[in-house]
Amino acid sequence: MPLRKLLYLTLGFLGLALGAVGAVLPVLPAFPFLLLAAYGFGKSSRRLDRWFKGTRLYRENLADLAEGRGLTRRAKIRIMVTVTILMAAGFIAMHAVAVGRIVLAFVWVGHIFYFLFGVRTLPDDRREKDE
């Protein structure tokens, strides 16, 4: 197995593990880790990519966004709150690094604008209608 494929496979499983933990624990965001898993599996193995896209974890967290439809308001809020909390912790920790705080503030504002205006909002009851 080529080293590059092994690296992508490792990223896929790492993202899957952290995403699964993040789906259960509100402190850890599942979304970015599941994106990492989708990327890793997509680059390493067609079979694992198909399997991952068939899981409930993928369907409930990434499928709508990956297919270009958007995210539910609930998912967008969950992502924005989690990232805001994590970035606030970084902002506080960088009390002596003014440039770091400024960069972090710009990244946070960009993140909020992206999810508010760049990602389409789906109705929250969409999931119940699909099942």
Contact (Cβ atoms closer than 8 angstroms) between residue 67 and residue 58: no
Q: Which residue has the higher pLDDT, 75 or 120?
A: 120
Model pLDDT, residue 128:
47
| DSSP H/E element including 70 | none
Contact (Cβ atoms closer than 8 angstroms) between residue 127 and residue 73: no
Assign 131 a pLDDT band (cuts: 50, 70, 90): very low
Name 72's bridge partners.
Answer: 122
Q: What is the pTM of this model?
A: 0.64
Alpha helices in 45-72 (DSSP H): 46-54, 56-61, 63-66
Per-residue pLDDT reduced to its tens digit, 28-53: 777 788 888 999 999 998 999 999 99
Per-residue pLDDT reduced to its tens digit, 51-60: 999 988 888 7
